[in-house]
Amino acid sequence: MAVLKVAQLGHPILRRRAASVPRDTLRSRDFQRFVDDLIETMREYSGVGLAAPQVHEGFQVLAVEAQKGQGEMPEIPLTVLVNPVVTLLGEAMVEDWEGCLSIPGIRGRVPRHREIRVEALDRRGEALDFTASDFYARVIQHESDHLQGIVFLDRMKSFETLTFLDEYARYWAEE
């Protein structure tokens, strides 16, 4: 396994729509190695999600996970989604803080749907169909946006809360 280089805001791959992964690719050794590397990279940088475009690969794969003891975040089981389709459920929206490994050191408040339905393949090609809510839904929406060439800054209603991480810790974290 290897830690991959993370694309930073401004790199064109972050603004491109990712291509679907063909089913016959899923079981290949190279694809499985890539998924392992994606997970290792996410964990190395203490991220709770990472999408393939963020590591310079233009296809629809993402991983999410929040482990026990990883800040004050609720736990999220390790989830790998291939070719995900996210359906927004209900009208309920929640605005909360987000950051991104491709936009290091910055946080901002982003409105997201509280509940979503996810249809995707897992890393081995098995069908997944589940609902996610709250923080789990937020992380999946954030990472799915990367597959469409969207970053969290594009979703912010206002840049008034855009802040560097040090200032976030000083002034906003207790909110």
Annotated active-site positions, please?
143
**Is residue 80 helix, strand or coil?**
strand
Triad 142, 144, 148: Cα angle to 5° = 110
Helix (H), strand (E) at residue 119: strand 103-121
Helix (H), strand (E) at residue 17: none
Which DSSP string corresponds to 147-159?
A: HTT--HHHH-S-S
Number of helical H runs and strand E runs in the chain: 4, 6
Q: How far apart are CA 110 and CA 113, in angstroms?
A: 10
Q: How far apart are CA 26 and CA 44, in angstroms?
A: 24
Encoded tokens for 100: 């991104």
